[in-house]
Amino acid sequence: MSAIRYALWAALTLGAATALPAEGGRHIVYINNNNYPSLLYINNANGGRTAMDTNDDNSDIIQLILYPVDEDAKRTRKATVVLQGDAQGTLTLTQKEPPVGATHIEGEILNLTPGPHGFHVHDLGDLSGGCVTAGGHYNPYKKNHGAPEHRERHIGDLGNIQADTQGRAYVNVTDPLVSLVGPRSVIGRAVVVHADEDDLGLGGHADSLKTGNAGGRVACGVIGHA
Ligand code: CU
Ligand code: ZN
């Protein structure tokens, strides 16, 4: 694949490079520069998933991350979100293996209407006009909207959360694309909870491939370092 060859060439021009064995569809090159020993991650931007694409787009996006080797850079990252609006809650985000490890999102949201609610990371942390100024779904790769397990999805697409008859939803998701560091970091962006169910791009509505047709925004909060 030419993208991989190009990446290896780039690594070699930076200094002596040693390719480490591929792990889980991800390639890592150790770059031996005395001033800045680094790992070059050559990573399928879709997280190495093998799920079928719902929209027949077979293109691959290769992501390159040059990341320090030192232990501090590899420590577990945490973030928090305080959701406010018609519903309220607090979420904790944890990424154990930055920069390319999955992020776990956990917490509780109260005062929802019972049933499913679209749950996304939106592009902007600007809540100056309420949840509406948080922009659209976080989508750095210009994909269509989808389900978290789809290859064709926004980074921000986290599917639905389920509120019980008391209007309480327990959030417990692990997502391979959401990151707290690097080029697709969600820090400073917003989590938004919607009034309605996200159709995961499959509803056939004019908005299905953009927003999942999930309706208004009932709670939001900015993702901050914790
Ligand atoms: Cu949303
Ligand atoms: Zn989306």
The answer on 52 and 20 residing in a single domain is yes
Distance CA 116, CA 19 (A): 45
Expressed in angstroms and rounded, the spacing between residue 217 Cα and the centre of ligand 1 is 7
The answer on 148 and 42 residing in a single domain is no
211 inside domain: yes
Q: Which residue, chain included where needed, has tokens 């989508």?
A: 139
The answer on 178 and 101 residing in a single domain is yes
The answer on 52 and 131 residing in a single domain is no
Per-residue confidence (pLDDT) for residue 147, from 0 to 100: 95
Nearest partner of 171 among 99, 110, 86, judged by Cα: 110
pLDDT of 34 strictly over 70: yes
Quote the domain boundaries for residue 15.
3-66
What is the widest separation between alpha-carbon atoms in the chain?
60
Residue 145 appears among annotated catalytic residues: yes
Last residue of a domain, one of 37, 66, 95: 66
- Neighbour tally for 89: CB within 10 Å: 24
The secondary structure of 93-119, three-state, reads: EEECCCCCCCEEEEEEEECCCCEEEEE
The answer on 205 and 113 residing in a single domain is yes
Residue 194 appears among annotated catalytic residues: yes
Last residue of a domain, one of 18, 37, 66: 66
Percent of the chain with pLDDT over 70: 81
Note residues around ion ligand 2 (Cβ under 5 angstroms): 137, 145, 154, 157
Supply the mean pLDDT for the chain.
85
Between 19 and 133, whose confidence is greater? 133
Stated pTM of the model? 0.84
pLDDT in tens, 38-50: 888 877 666 544 4
Distance CA 82, CA 222 (A): 7
Report the number of distinct structural domains present in the chain: 2
160 inside domain: yes
88 inside domain: yes
Residue 146 and residue 203 in contact, taking contact as beta carbons nearer than 8 Å: no
pLDDT in tens, 139-161: 998 889 999 988 889 999 999 99
pLDDT of 95 strictly over 70: yes
- Neighbour tally for 40: CB within 10 Å: 22
The answer on 118 and 51 residing in a single domain is no
Nearest partner of 215 among 199, 45, 202, 226, judged by Cα: 199
Between 214 and 67, whose confidence is greater? 214
Helix or strand holding residue 5 (H, E)? helix 2-14
Expressed in angstroms and rounded, the spacing between residue 82 Cα and the centre of ligand 1 is 16
DSSP for residue 184: G
Average pLDDT over residues 181-193: 95
109 inside domain: yes
* pLDDT band per the 50, 70, 90 thresholds, residue 100: confident
The answer on 60 and 110 residing in a single domain is no
72 inside domain: no
Last residue of a domain, one of 42, 66, 90: 66
Q: Which of 154, 175, 198, 199 is the catalytic position? A: 154
Token pair, residue 138, equals: 């976080």
